[in-house]
Amino acid sequence: MNMMSNSTKAIGPITPISIQIDEEKYRMEGETFDGKITRIARNLCDGEEHYDIIYNILSDMRFLPAGRIQTACGSPRNVTAYNCFVSDTIDDSLESIMKNATQAAFTMKKGGGIGYNFSHIRPKGDWIKTLASKASGPISFMKIFDAVCQTIASSGFRRGAQMGCLNIDSPSIEEFITVKQDETSLTGFNISICITDKFMNCLINDEPFDLTFEGKVYKTVDPKALWDKIMQSTWDWAEPGVLFIDRINEMNNLYYCEDIEATNPCGEQPLGRFSACLLGSWNLVKYVNDGQFDWEQFKKDIPPIVRMMDNVIDRTTYPLPEQEEQAKNKRRMGLGITGLANCGEMLGYSYGSEGFIKFTEAVLSTLRDETYSTSSDLAVEKGSFPDFDPTKYFGGKFFQTLPDDLKVKITNNGLRNSHLTSIAPTGTISLVADNVSSGIEPPFSHYYDRTYRTFDGDQIVRVEDYAYSKGVIGRTADEISVQDHLNVLATAQKYIDSAVSKTCNVSDDVTFEEFKDVYLNAWKL
């Protein structure tokens, strides 16, 4: 490995807006970029050799830890290095609802976002015998969590992030679909519907679909009418999102010991109760040299980073003891990539093209294999994650996609981490890395103007896409067909053990019927 001497200070981002955001969000007061990298590397290393290696990787911005890690690790701030959590099950009782709201407040106070599923709360109008009154329904109780989020945000902490989920068969689903359309309700939430295979099959086969609660049928609906209502809201308001919940649970490595009902606020981490996501991304543009991708360096960089990220689990604080227990029992992480579009275009692969798809497969299969191989090596040294049950884990559908030699290695050695890969939106950390294309997204535009604060007042500065600034004019999001967007998403998902955050841009010439097909095709893929 080409090592950097510790006497050579890290340079960091070079564009003014990237420097400013890094200073404001991720550095301590008066801390330099080099100071930040030193702090993180020192806090998460396993000795001097490991420190030197991860210092080199982080200082070159080849790997970008998620913002919470950059803010929390090694700092005096009492915040968690975890970006997001999923709540405990919210049962149909005031005690459970208020307990979860309190836990949410403590979680957001420490800097974590939260996902919830509100389907276990009885529907609006249901008779409550013990109170001799009617229930107000799950959406009314979501407003309590929304108020908590707004209050914590207004108390000086980072703005809270929440995901509110409801099952497609909930009697409250029709109200849920339109709840945010007044632009004032539940503004602290992203909302998503947990769509089942049963519903999709009813939709395709034109069969009636029951809305139920605790086994009782409250209403039978036309699935096409309900689907159209969801699609129309998404067409007009970009919400609610859709989670194919059966696929999530079917492909979950921990299918045998957790039931997933919700995701983190951005959707790239479906999580069990009290579980959390630990995120970071390899910055692919940093591996392009003279028009070639440096596969050797990419492979070398993965093991020390997996080791570093595994250490976060034991060296950070947790808002709740239940969250710490789940994190240490599962040792879940979500390592991904950013700059894919820029990198591919810099190598001559037009976004969505056959060459681009093959390059994406090569990158993500390498990421999958190297992360799992490293985690298996760590299991020999430090032990497998406590919830590891070989007889059941090896029956998982994602495990079956691994190469045979890797399956054998894990069978012999065990595994340190239940999950290893995820592709997050990476918006802010990508902007800090001189505005590389975020995640697996194409750039939204080649450049845009942004207000930049200086000592002399506000100035308008042009922010250029990373590849564009290097003379590479790649395809932008609106120049790419919906099918190309879907193809990239489906390709990525094959190699990712949790989920992928991806925006599929729809041009003005796409009809509503064609738009609906995007979701149907996504389910089929």
Q: Which of the residues are catalytic?
A: 264, 266, 268
User: Helix H segments across 74-126?
Assistant: 94-109
Asked if residues 65 and 16 have their Cβ atoms less than 8 Å apart, the reply is no
Q: Which residues contact 192 (CB under 8 A, 6 or more apart)?
A: 163, 164, 165, 240, 241, 242, 243, 263, 267
Handedness of CA 305, 310, 316, 317 (dihedral sign): positive
198 to each of 137, 165, 247, 290, how far by Cα in Å? Answer: 24, 18, 12, 51
Residues paired with residue 164 on neighbouring β-strands, in sequence order: 116, 191
Q: Which residues contact 282 (CB under 8 A, 6 or more apart)?
A: 62, 63, 64, 298, 301, 302, 305, 335, 336, 337, 338, 367
Separation between Cα atoms, residue 227 and residue 233, nearest integer Å: 10
Q: Tell me the HSE value of 247 on the side-chain side, using a 13 A CA sphere.
A: 16
Separation between Cα atoms, residue 191 and residue 117, nearest integer Å: 10
422 to each of 207, 332, 402, how far by Cα in Å? Answer: 35, 10, 16
What residue type is 46 in one-letter code?
D
Phi and psi, residue 244, nearest 5° = -80, 85
Q: Tell me the HSE value of 311 on the side-chain side, using a 13 A CA sphere.
A: 20
Separation between Cα atoms, residue 283 and residue 285, nearest integer Å: 6
For residue 150, the Cα-to-chain-centroid distance in whole angstroms is 22
Asked if residues 128 and 134 have their Cβ atoms less than 8 Å apart, the reply is yes
Question: Other C-beta atoms within 10 Å of 112: how many?
Answer: 28
Ramachandran quadrant class, 61 (left: phi over 0; alpha: psi -120 to 50; beta: rest): left
Asked if residues 85 and 45 have their Cβ atoms less than 8 Å apart, the reply is no
Q: Is 502 helix (H, G, I), strand (E, B) or coil?
A: coil
Q: Which residues contact 433 (CB under 8 A, 6 or more apart)?
A: 13, 18, 61, 64, 283, 338, 339, 466
| Residue from 51, 48, 53, 49 nearest 39 by CA | 51
